[in-house]
Amino acid sequence: MDLMEALRTRRSVRQWTSDPIPDEKLKELVEAAARAPSGSNNQPWAFVIIREPGRLKRLRAAAPGIAGRAAAVILICLDRRLGDETPGTSEYDMVHLSLGAAMQNLLLAAHDLGLGACAIGSFHPASLESIVSLPPHLELKLLIALGFPVSQPDAPALRPLSEVCYFEEVGSDGEH
Ligand SMILES: Cc1cc2nc3c(=O)[nH]c(=O)nc-3n(C[C@H](O)[C@H](O)[C@H](O)COP(=O)(O)O)c2cc1C
């Protein structure tokens, strides 16, 4: 799929068929995520793929942000050994930007592979970390719920470019 087409047609998908996702596709998604740029190339991430039905059920109970029955969920974690986790430091901001880049790679790769994905920020970290027995050096930051889409959701309302894009200087009237 052409990249601009992928950017224009990607949607957050929250309803999925019951079809399982082949492991090869799940690994491809993580490969895409792990190709994201990162500050100082520190690659401060780890990805945990959950697709076993019993564990998915417990995971859904701890993640109110997941609306439907995802065929798989990928946990995006910060590896504290690779990035400073002290709020207020520039490195703290940097690792979160890097994890955001990994998230976007993953979402676009899912779209390209015919999957539907949704980033999930609404979850109970402590419950989830115990469900997957995360080691202490990994901190759960975001979930990606995935499956084969039931339908293509409507496009969300976007702020007009004239409101967010400026050449040279930011005009007080919002025009470029
Ligand atoms: C960091 C982040 C957290 C999000 N958390 C949730 C969530 O908990 N539940 C949910 O249904 N959608 C969640 N979303 C999806 C957004 O609602 C969605 O991206 C936004 O409405 C724009 O729609 P689009 O992705 O189709 O362009 C999240 C997105 C991001 C980037």
Instruction: Quick: pLDDT tens for 2-29.
Output: 999 999 999 999 999 999 999 999 999 9
Backbone dihedral angles phi then psi of residue 31, each to the nearest 5 degrees: -60, -40
In the chain the domains, ranked by start, together with CATH numbers, are: 3-154 (3.40.109.10)
Classify the C-alpha dihedral 39-170-8-68 as positive or negative: positive
Distance CA 176, CA 169 (A): 8
> Is 120 a pocket residue for ligand 1 (Cβ < 6 Å)?
yes
| 89-146 pLDDT tens trace | 888 889 999 999 999 999 999 999 999 999 999 999 999 988 999 999 999 999 999 9
Ligand 1, atom 28: closest residue by C-alpha: 119
> Is 122 a pocket residue for ligand 1 (Cβ < 6 Å)?
yes
Sheet strands side by side (includes 72-79):
45-50, 72-79, 138-147, 116-120
pTM: 0.95
